[in-house]
Amino acid sequence: MPTIYLSPSGQESNAYVNGGSEEYYMNLIADAMLPYLQSSGIQYVRNTKSMSAAQSIAASNSGRYDLHLAIHSNAAPEGQYGTKRGVVVYYYPRSASGRRAAEIFADNMRSIYPEPSLVRAESTTTIGEVSKTRAPAVFMEIGYHDNTADANWIKANIENIAKNLVLSLTDYFGIPFIAATPARPAIVRTSYGNLNLRRRPDLASPIIARMPRGARVNVLGEWQGWAVVRYGANTGYADTRYLEFL
């Protein structure tokens, strides 16, 4: 199952025109993403509010991640405060995977942002969180926090934005988006032998682990007869017919 490095803004000094900060609201979005990440089987490591961008890059590069996702809001240049709106999804021009991810995030964000024509994917070589990360990366600028309309939209749509970002992740990784539900314990109930834990919800998908009859697992989400299952250190898909919920 995929693992991302989740990097919401730590820029406490970037004030919203209607109160609060970029750090506060981007971390609220990241918080709201977590139940959807879990139910959809996407594992994550997250930065902390005290970390600088350089520290987040170093932490991301110290692991093996399938995508680095930075979440920020924007501000217009001096002299133009409050005059700009829109969402920009940045990627590194030499990263085909980063560009594909950015285009997916932009396409999905157009479905919830009030001005879809102002959402775009754009390449950059100047943002470290896309140019210096080992993993493919996208850097989200979700609206302009110095614009009243954008700031109000962000505050009113924390849950919708979080859900949209996880939907984009599942589209990028080619796995189902699964609505957030509490994890439930279950027991493997095969007639004999093991239950296969697979990389994707497909009988032809590679097997991650074999779970013996009677094994205790946690079910994180369900989709069309498949369960997202955590078994020890492994997370994958298993046939729900062979799981008994406790």
In a domain, 239, yes or no: yes
Domain region containing 210: 184-245
- Whether residues 205 and 240 fall in one domain: yes
User: Does 233 map to a domain?
Assistant: yes
CATH assignment of the domain containing 206? 2.30.30.40
Q: Helix %, strand %, coil % for the chain, to 5?
A: 30, 30, 40
Walk along the chain (246 residues) and give the pLDDT tens digit of each residue: 899 999 999 999 999 999 999 999 999 999 999 999 999 999 999 999 999 999 999 999 999 999 999 999 999 999 999 999 999 999 999 999 999 999 999 999 999 999 999 999 999 999 999 999 999 999 999 999 999 999 999 999 999 999 999 999 999 999 999 999 999 999 999 998 999 999 999 999 999 999 999 999 999 999 999 999 999 999 999 999 999 999
Residues 211 and 137 in one domain: no
Query: DSSP strand E in 47-202: where?
Result: 67-74, 87-91, 119-123, 137-144, 184-188, 194-198
Instruction: Give me the sign of the Cα torsion angle 103, 129, 6, 116.
Output: negative
- State the CATH number of the domain containing residue 20: 3.40.630.40
**How many domains does the structure of the chain reveal?**
2
Contacts of 9 (CB under 8 A, 6+ apart): 22, 23, 26, 27, 70, 71, 72, 73
Token readout for 95 is 């990263």
Residue pair 161/29 in contact by the 8 Å Cβ criterion: yes
Indicate if 49 and 129 belong to the same structural domain: yes
> Does residue 62 share a domain with residue 13?
yes
Same domain, 148 and 29: yes
Q: Is residue 178 in some structural domain?
A: no
